[in-house]
Amino acid sequence: MGLLERGLKVGIHRHSLNAAGRFASAAGAATFVPAGIPKQTVGGAYNTGVIGKTYTTLLGGRELTLETGKLAKLVSGSVTLRYGDTLLLVTAQARDDLSTLDFLPLTVEFEERHYAVGKIPGSFPRREGRPGEKAILSARITDRQIRPLFPKGYRQETQVIITVLSADGQNLPDVLGPIGASAALSISDIPWGGPTACVRVGMVGGEYVVNPTVDQQALSELDLVVAGTRDAILMVEAGAKGASEDLLVGAIEFAHAQMQPIIDLIEQMRAELGHEKFTFIEPASAVSVDVVPELADAARAAGLKDALLTPGKKDRGARLKALRDGLIAGRVNPEDADAAAQITHYKNAFNKVEKAELRRLILDDDLRADGRNTRTVRPIWIEARALPRAHGSAIFTRGETQVLGVATLGTERDAVLIDDLTAETEDKFMLHYNFPPYSTGEVKRVGGQSRREIGHGNLAKRAIRAVLPSFESFPYTIRLVGEVLESNGSSSMATVCAGTLALMDAGVPITAPVAGVAMGLVMEDGRYRILTDILGLEDALGDMDFKVCGTAQGVTALQMDIKIAGITPAIMREALSQARDARMHILSKMAEVLPAPRSELAPTAPRIVTMKINAELIGKVIGPGGKQIRELEALGASINIDEDGTIRIFSASGANADAVRARIESLTREAKVGEEFEGTVVKTTPFGAFINLFAGQDGMLHISQMSEQRIQTVEEAMNVGDKLRVKIAGVDDRGKIDLIRPELEGKIAPREPRAPREGGDRGGRPPRR
Q: Identify which of 670, 611, 662 has the alpha carbon closest to the alpha carbon of residue 635.
A: 662
Q: Where are the beta strands (DSSP E) in 392-428?
A: 392-398, 401-410, 416-418, 425-427
The rounded distance, in Å, linking the Cα atoms of 479 and 493 is: 18
Residue 174 marked in a binding site: no
Kindly write down the DSSP assignment for every residue of 19-86, as one continuous string: TTSSEEEEE-SS----TT---EEETTEEE-S-B-EEEEEEETTEEEEEEESSS-TTSSEEEEEEETTE
CB 248 within 8 A of CB 555: yes
Q: Identify which of 259, 290, 284 has the alpha carbon closest to the alpha carbon of residue 59.
A: 259
User: Which three-class secondary structure state does DSSP give residue 314?
Assistant: helix
Helix (H) or strand (E) holding 94: strand 86-98
Q: Identify which of 510, 592, 587, 594 has the alpha carbon closest to the alpha carbon of residue 548.
A: 587
Measured in Å, how far apart are the chain's first and last C-alpha atoms? Answer: 59
Q: Where are the beta strands (DSSP E) in 196-350?
A: 197-204, 207-210, 222-228, 233-243
Amino acid at 751: R
The rounded distance, in Å, linking the Cα atoms of 23 and 96 is: 10
The rounded distance, in Å, linking the Cα atoms of 117 and 570 is: 43
Q: What is the CA radius of gyration of the chain?
A: 36
Residue 539 marked in a binding site: yes
Helices 569-593 and 491-506, interaxial angle, to 10°?
40
CB 245 within 8 A of CB 155: no
Which residue numbers belong to the known binding site for Mg(2+)? 539, 545
Which residue numbers belong to the known binding site? 539, 545
